[in-house]
Structure 1
């Protein structure tokens, strides 16, 4: 370990130890129920007591430090310790950067004494962000005045110039980009440029200036062991295999290595993450284990398969949960689950027959009149029952079997719809007479439905004994998206970090991921080469063809959403936003884990504020909002309307007559047919808009900061938003 790396190790160990002591103290106070006054006295007493400062560790060798298992006490520092844990990603980035310059002490000396141009390539996206945020503290702990190329000042006021690029340079921005870089170079100050790849990201004038080219080392087993030692405070007795360590990203380290875990637990988590990246080489024959983002649905399917084994051994069919319906937006894998279920059953020695149908299939028989519809449906179920049991009967488009209670007497096809629903219910109950008059049994038939919107489906179809278990499938989160990409890539890009691709894909479905991978493979195929990460990036985030004003409006809209989300619901680690144009979507803000929601008026009010924040932010910063909040089901305006209508007409939370029930909370059309509900819902939305505007106005500098980051990086996470908020509070 070189001197720079040792110094970084010391600093990070000290900060991590202080945080652990702080966390332990707070936990102890909570457990004892101590009053704040007592806690303050205890804290003062602890600070006056003798401590084991880190300076004492300088007398130990590196091996002794790693093996030191002594109980830590809070090091002496005049300032309070950090309130946020030291992350493994940050530790790894700082150690790797220090290791790099320990090996190139000549470059560090030149940066201090001369005016070299130094480029640092950091291929891994999360390491890049950590290096950008920490390089000054690592290389110049005594302090240095750094000028950014985008904001040049007087030469005498600065010691060096820096340039950080996270996105490849774009042709249309070349002129101004090169001009700024050239002006910075002409100052004759040390110049540090950090990017994923200098050749594709940095200005041409920087590459022509005879730079010293450096590449940050990759994450290895040694730096992982050090990170575990720093974060947990305990030595890591076992090292990962080198090939396994190379598969891990900085994000993986932060996920797996936490201060509240032992080194053994951290290693177990890291090994689990390594296994996630070692995916099957073939995308054929999808099984349940290959389906991601469908947790509850997969668990139900596996449970049914396990029960099928017991049924064959004599367990009664009535004990099996053999009826379910999947609900979710198009493309989330509803129609893939039956095939995966069939294959997984086969892997366990169970031959599961599959019979699939849909409303449109029945209606497409003959000329579509009722007799042909019923004959086709009866024939299908008869065929399904004739198959060797067990049989999985999959019914798509369940919402096409509309709710009979919502049909007005004047509806021209009321009798047709009613007869179709009645026929399906009869089949689901397994009551179908054969030619000899016998009655078929449903035993051995597993019923699985699928729908984009079950609120439109007749509730009798979802009754107990039919498709009674409702399984809702949402959009995949970052972890699920990476698993989807890894599976569909079939072993390609195994050493590449897909986090940026996943963040830009937020809001996409499994079907979208499949299309993205196919398009990327086509790009590589046409170029007669193997797939590259840049091919995926070109598909998921193509060259921006929107004008700057449109990009800025989208950034403002998403900035409003993510800022209000963090303000209202906290847990910033679960929120992300991007302005990537994927399909019909110009941007997205996604919360990967739902916050606590008690269903009070206050909870719903915060939800309304968050939904209306995009539109409100546009009005605040641009003086006028666009149509981007509405126009389709699932839009902000649609969700605002359904939520406010439910609050007033169904949930008893608002309005002049909260004790009256006007209809089901998901039947917005019926609720909004009442004038009093419409008026009260609109009043609630106006109140939410006013309170949202007040919050955004109070945090306008933060809102503008988020917009700037989105325009530069095209994505931002909630932790970055929380950091901007914290800085804003400190300044104020």
Structure 2
């Protein structure tokens, strides 16, 4: 029986082939695809002819009776439908036709694989990323390469017996098998490899779903091409029977799936009507997709990410022109930064911009996260949901896949609790899927994390998320651009710089919220947006007492002054903007020079303690407003003593994970050493503030009266103090010597 293997749909014309499809001479169609198209054309023509004949006959109700409902059939376990049931009398299936054309094209590009499939030279593995496309292939692939009379067994259901009793075998899997079923398939696949008969396997991801022995023995690995305008156009021509070329817009194809073909392409429609329906379905999908509508040119405060995006878009264009292979494209990025800096927004903008200036919708964006997968249920549900999202990305390529909350995939080495096996399984599965999707041409991976140090190191190695870009809150110039983008046509020509100064420390998300609040106030009063609306949305109601405002100004002035003295003026900003979370803030919008020495860490601790110390220097005593500063200073001191090797009685001893360094306080000697470190930093910090008392006072006044300042303002005050000191040096007498008496600064009220 196994000597009769043939390939009728590829070799030679069919007998009685009196109706030939439209010619494709010069269009680049291969012989296998030409035959697949011809078969689809003939089947659709036969249906239309039968339909016309039936229309001329009296309608007679026909039924196969009860037996037809209960007969045994080859049922597909995944869908519950007959996998290879006859389609006689059924309308042509656009999904099956498109699947057949794509599979034929793949084998046209790999003629050795087609030869081995027919002759049994070596197993052939076909990766079909789209689950719906895989379903469509189940009913068509066998007729493309083999006679119906040949006995091809499904190894998932049947083990191979005598060699002379079969002609080949196949596997079709969407998901990996588990337990005993997986072990059984490994055994029968290994047996089948020794039969030297045609052996083919179809799956969504062969390396994850198929037996290991089959992956190793496969002589060819075929990747089904992506659905494209040419395939859809030929499908429309075959189904409708109208020999005319139709133009399927590439823009429409980005949002069209296999299921849409069945809804849009029908035998009773013209090609133009089919295309119009596809366009309508694509537009509907785009309208439902959440997006803030920004493109990369409107994204500010992310210079590193923008540089990666520009390179990636240039690489994508070169890949599409055939100038470089996909593995030369910069296709993966990890964005690290605090909440609200725009990591998700960047991914949305990249997806909208990557397809080029002529694109109206960009590329599809698939958003997923640890918690969206975990919400599905137990571990099996988690892994299944993960595979579905990655399969969706492979099916929709070219696309962008956004993986949020990457710090949820923690370092496996640090997991010691009772559920460690669960965590390891989740991370291992993610790494496997990332490796698989990186091999799929056209898929960009963008990861987001608030704390990149918490991620499993394997996720960040070369070949995965090797490009890590850290995003900090925007500086004043970038923040003003962000406000302008959000304001769009409002407040054009108005000077918003003072409002932006008050908003220092805000993220892009904060700016978006402020503009929405300002517009809401204007709408409530049925008028145009004003600068006061924006200022009120940023600053809020000033319900603080004069004493609270002065204490806040002194506190933030201390932080900013010591930061400038220790690390320089570049990027330092401070304000007394009152929000529901804080009374004011001081921060650095640029990365400081930090070599990680003990001096660097002590300087950082001094900056943290400077706000509290300034309150004591100017007001005589500190308030409770330094809680977060003290917590961070304590954590850094613990890290210096218990893991960084920078201080303490046993600097070479590593006590544990530095991300939880505060846990080291359970050791008495660490508690004592931390107290010494913090006390010394407080004394040093107080000395700096006393030595620059006049600048501290001037800085606090500036904040009280204007609400904000930056490092450059403090640098000017420091330079003025040095000039005054140098001028007075030559005429200074004994009576003019500075005093160390501490006098609480008097209560100030703004003019």
Counterpart residue number, 2:412: 404
- Taking a change above 3 Å as real, the CA distance of residues 320 and 604 of structure 1, as seen in their structure-2 partners, is same
The residue correspondences of 1:110-125 to structure 2 (distance < 5 A) are none
Q: 1:673 and 1:383 mapped to 2: Cα distance?
A: 48
Alignment pair present for 1:619 and 2:622 = no
Aligned to 1:331: 340
Counterparts in 2 of 1:673 and 1:317: CA distance versus 1, 3 Å:
farther
Indicate conservation of the 8 Å contact 1:505/1:582, yes or no: no
Match of 1:322 among 316, 321, 331: 331
Residue from 634, 640, 656 that aligns with 2:649: 656
In the TM superposition, residue 330 of structure 1 has moved relative to its aligned partner by 1.1
Counterpart for residue 298 of structure 2: 290
CA distance in 1, matches of 2:664, 2:335: 26
Query: What is the Cα-based RMSD across aligned positions, in Å?
Result: 2.5
Asked whether the 8 Å contact 1:455–1:667 carries over to 2, the reply is no
Q: Secondary structure at the match of 1:691?
A: helix
Instruction: Give the number of equivalent residue pairs.
Output: 432
CA distance in 2, matches of 1:723, 1:443: 55
Query: Which position in structure 2 is the counterpart of 1:466?
Result: 464
The equivalent residue for 2:491 is 493
Q: How is 1:69-468 mapped onto 2 (pairs within 5 angstroms)?
A: 285-314=293-322, 315-348=324-357, 352-365=363-376, 368-387=377-396, 389-408=397-416, 411-430=417-436, 441-468=439-466
- Alpha-carbon distance, 1:488 to partner: 0.8
Does 1:547 pair with 2:581?
A: no
Q: Which has the larger radius of gyration?
A: 2
The residue number in structure 2 matching 1:520 is 518
1:591 matched residue in structure 2: 588
The alignment partner of 2:410 has SS state of coil
Offset at residue 520 of structure 1 (A): 0.8
Residue 296 of structure 1 and its aligned partner are, at CA, apart by 0.7
Secondary structure of residue in 1 paired with 2:474 = coil
What do the CA deviations read for 1:186-234 (whole angstroms, capped 9, x no partner)? xxxxxxxxxxxxxxxxxxxxxxxxxxxxxxxxxxxxxxxxxxxxxxxxx
Q: What residue is the counterpart of 2:476 in the other structure?
A: 478
State the secondary structure of the residue aligned to 1:325: strand
Matched position secondary structure for 1:628: coil
- Verify the 8 A CA contact 1:649 1:660 in the aligned structure 2: yes
Q: Deviations over 1:19-70 (max 9, x none)?
A: xxxxxxxxxxxxxxxxxxxxxxxxxxxxxxxxxxxxxxxxxxxxxxxxxxxx
Measured after TM superposition, the shift of residue 667 of structure 1 is 5.1
Preserved CA contact (<8 Å) 2:472 2:590 = no
Q: Distance in 1 between matches of 2:720 and 2:330?
A: 53
Instruction: State the secondary structure of the residue aligned to 1:690.
Output: helix
TM-score in terms of structure 2 length: 0.54
Q: Using the alignment, how far apart are the partners of 1:569 and 1:520 within structure 2? A: 36
Q: Is residue 411–residue 454 contact of structure 2 (8 Å, CA) maintained in 1?
A: yes
**Aligned-pair CA distance for 1:671:** 5.8
Residue aligning to 2:500: 502
> Does the 8 Å CA contact 1:317/1:443 hold for their aligned counterparts?
yes
Contact 1:293 1:480 in 2 (8 A): yes
Structure 1 position 312, deviation (Å): 2.0
Partners of 1:328 and 1:474 within 8 A in 2? yes
- Alignment partners' CA distance in 1, 2:605 and 2:595: 15
Shift of 1:342: 1.3
Note closer, same or farther for the CA distance 1:529–1:448 as it changes in structure 2 (3 Å cut): same
**1:689 alignment partner in structure 2:** 682
- Structure 2 residue runs of 5 or longer lacking an equivalent are 1-290, 729-751
Name the SS for the 1:577 alignment partner.
Answer: strand
SS of 2:602 mapped into structure 1: helix
Q: Which residue of 2 aligns with 1:156?
A: none
Contact 1:615 1:626 in 2 (8 A): yes
Aligned equivalents of 1:669, 1:377: Cα separation in 2: 35
The alignment partner of 1:430 has SS state of helix
